[in-house]
Amino acid sequence: MYQKHFGLKELPFSLTPNTQYYFALPPHKQAMEVLTTALNVGEGFIKITGEVGTGKTLLCRKLLKELPAHIQAAYIPNPMLSPDALRRAVAAELGVDLTSGIDQQQFTQLIEQQLLALSSRGKSVVLIIDEAQALPEESLEALRLMTNLETETKKLLQVILFGQPELDEKLAKHTLRQLRQRISFSYQLKPMIAHHIEQYLRHRLAVAGYKGTPIFSAPVCVALAKASTGTARLVNILAHKSLMLAYGEGKSRVTKTHVAYAAADTESAIHPTVLGTSRWLWPLLCLLGGGLIAAVLLLLGGPR
């Protein structure tokens, strides 16, 4: 691959959410400020929404990693659960002994006892649910009922929901109006603009070990912004493919032509009009390498 060519110790644009690569872009910084403020208040639901690939899971993991010592987190990454399964998942995260043959009321009492025990030790508990749009309506209602657990002075359980815009559509339903009224803080993640993308790419490359002059120029980042619509996941995919093409040509900089061909090969990207570009071109270019790939790009032309 291209690590040695660019002096990298690892691939900088992996799709796996890695907090080592977290970069406080304005949308993520603002979202983190909302989360911090809400956790300090200590009541109600918190909702963070964003389109697919905008970095919600990375933000979620960053929050989990940096929670202060007095806050204990219960984390549910896959919430397509029935009300009973949701209660069991919460109980397991809180360290409640799961025994068979108990009814819903007894189950709730066990969770409440554990929350009270944690509170007596100065612990606040926050339940963090990723991909919350997958929660069935009846499970959302069960979640609301769980947050009724409280002392005379504070709630025993706070909830943070990370989800796609479909979560807002679900919460807009009349049947969920009680939960919707309890959302005290919310934030919607916005796509990156070209300037943010330029900063983002430089940061990830630096974390991966790059020490040279910028590989992605400002005009190239404008092309990336258009092709990716500012979606972080697509930026990663297109940057990775563009680096492969630059490496294949033996170049030390990515061009708009590389971005154009990378976008033409990526399903969710905005495809530019490139002379005769078709989906067979990408694997062929990756196989050709060196001078041949440069010759093919030259023959086909395209934006620079």
Distance from C-alpha of 136 to C-alpha of 139, rounded to nearest angstrom: 5
77 shares its domain with 184: yes
Q: Token pair of 226, please?
A: 């258009």
The verdict on 198 and 182 lying in the same domain is no
- Per-residue pLDDT, 148: 87
The answer to whether 238 touches 263, Cβ cutoff 8 Å, is yes
Q: What is the pTM of this model?
A: 0.86
CB atoms within 10 A of CB 134: 17
The three state secondary structure string of the chain is CCHHHHCCCCCCCCCCCCHHHCCCCHHHHHHHHHHHHHHHHCCCEEEEECCCCCCHHHHHHHHHHHCCCCEEEEEECCCCCCHHHHHHHHHHHHCCCCCCCCCHHHHHHHHHHHHHHHHHCCCEEEEEECCHHHCCHHHHHHHHHHCCCECCCCECCEEEEEECCHHHHHHCCHHHHHHHHCEEEEEECCCCCHHHHHHHHHHHHHHCCCCCCCCCCHHHHHHHHHHHCCCHHHHHHHHHHHHHHHHHHCCCCCCHHHHHHHHHCCCCCCCCCCCCCCCCHHHHHHHHCHHHHHHHHHHHCCCC
pLDDT < 70: residue spans in the chain: 100-101, 272-304
- Asked if residue 242 and residue 93 are part of one domain, the reply reads no
Model pLDDT, residue 136: 95
The strand pairing partners of 158, in sequence order, are 126
- Amino acid letter at 237? I
145, 52: one domain: yes
| 137 and 198 assigned to the same domain | no
How many domains does the chain contain in total? 2
CA–CA gap between residue 185 and residue 35 (Å, rounded): 8
Residue 20 forms part of a structural domain: no
pLDDT for 70? 92
- Show the domain range for 85: 26-188
Where is the domain boundary, 121, 155, 188? 188
Residue with the two structure tokens 């109600």 = 44
| 266: in domain | yes
The pLDDT score that the predictor gives to residue 299 is 46
